[in-house]
Amino acid sequence: MGQAENRKGFFPADPEARMNYYPIAASQTLAAGDAVILTSNLVDVALDSSAALLGVIARDCSGLAASTMVPVWDDPDTVFIGTANADSSGVGAGDEVDLVGTTGIMQIDEDASSTDVFKLIAALPDDAPATANCRWKFKINKHLLAQID
């Protein structure tokens, strides 16, 4: 796997994925591909303890004034691609896993299942799940905009 293919963060499998704009919280530094949440109706970086996600920030954001509108891939049906931070041979399609990392270095935490914010779909065909940085297709399992039954 080449370095360009081994980027950290989360990106839509479909380059035409829906994006909406939301006001950003004060003092945020976000990298494209970071998972985000809403705090007091403002975009904020997601943490590994976040219970539900708004989506993924679509561009780098640094030094913006509070309430500046920023793009977020926010469709609950968006399929994302992201890397696992370690050997992911113990998980597979349908497994619910966590988020790990901070801004600019977010990954799938394949060996944690406490917040279960992601649901795995499949490893990419050219990647080996038994190695770190295996790329996975996944959806946000606990999405702020998903229909609640």
CA separation for the pair 24, 43 (Å, rounded): 4
Give the type of residue at 13: A
pLDDT tens digits for range 103-128: 999 999 998 889 999 999 999 999 98
Categorize the per-residue pLDDT at 148 as very low, low, confident or very high, splitting at 50, 70 and 90: low
Q: What is the pLDDT of residue 111?
A: 87
The whole model's pTM is what?
0.92
Q: What is the 3-state secondary structure (H, E, C) of 4-36?
A: HHHCCCCEECCCCCCCEEEEECCCCEECCCCEE
